[in-house]
Structure 1
């Protein structure tokens, strides 16, 4: 019991040894998840990922990135650029100044995007 209280105090004090982002993503990893390796990350330019809500992430040459929202979600496209971080996350900076880093994994031959807050978004098979 005392260990739990100390851990809770340590985590809420802002003195955590691990960034919250890392904890959320580690907690979102599931059995069978294999993070994208260097080869998969190098192959991103020219790829497009369509999600189950019909949103589409496109990776272009030279780090170009776009995300097109489905018609149900208002349509429109957000533009930006991406880079691969030292820990193999894909980090996007949008032209409006916002940014995000996501972990791309495969599980049973399907790509899943894991956000910093631990949400999982599987990529739909091409139609």
Structure 2
């Protein structure tokens, strides 16, 4: 299913994709909060929009090249907590090895008036 035909947004808002994260992916709007950016980045992983992920990654920390793992199908997002410049979440996925989860506490910064992803820590790691 193409991103524009998705009935609801993968971020879990319950809103239509085009009215939610789709408008951010298209560049029709900018994320207003760190949490909105994180949700839109999760949705970008879900729909395979590597260009959006690259654009919303801080230039200091983003990789030179970004390839998405197409063997994973992202199946759900739970936001555990958030602050002005951080979001802690658990993202669920299915893969050939079976279902799994990715947990992260992500950090964000405003750069030239726009939110960007800086980096993230896996809970329990140093």
Q: TM-score range by the shorter chain?
A: 0.3 to 0.5
User: Given the two structures, how large is their TM-score scaled by the length of structure 1?
Assistant: 0.34
* Larger radius of gyration between Structure 1 and Structure 2: 1
Tell me: higher relative CO, structure 1 or 2? Use CA pairs within 8 A at least 6 residues apart.
1
With normalisation by structure 2, the TM-score equals 0.34
